Structure formats: structure tokens, C-alpha cells
Amino acid sequence: MDSHAIPDLDRAGLRRFGLVTGALLAALFGLLLPWIFGLKFPVWPWA
């Protein structure tokens, strides 16, 4: 039952996690949600 142990993350792993999480949130709120609701895409986050 212990075959799925969670590995310890080092600084590089935490940095990668933060960058991926930030990119996903930016894509979600900046691109996906405006596209779904038919709104104009915001320009200021990408400028």
C-alpha cells in the first residue's frame, strides 16, 4: 500500500511547480474563460 510514496521536491521541482501553476492560471483566466463566455480577450496581461 506504500508503493505510491510522494517524492521530496527540491528547489528546481518547486520552481517548476510554481511556473506551471502560474501559466495554467494565466491561460485559464486570460484566454479560456473569455473565449468560453464570448468576451474580448484582455490585452494588458500579455503586453
Rounded distance, CA 12 to CA 2, Å? 25
Rounded distance, CA 9 to CA 19, Å? 14
Rounded distance, CA 24 to CA 30, Å? 10
| C-beta separation of 34 from 41 below 8 A | yes
- Sorted by where each begins, the domain ranges of the chain are 22-47
Q: What is the pLDDT of residue 1?
A: 57
Q: What is the pLDDT of residue 46?
A: 67
Q: What is the pLDDT of residue 45?
A: 66
Q: What is the helix (H) or strand (E) element at residue 15, kind and residue range? A: helix 11-27
Low pLDDT (below 70) residues in the chain: 1-2, 45-47
| 31 φ, ψ (degrees, to nearest 5) | -125, -50
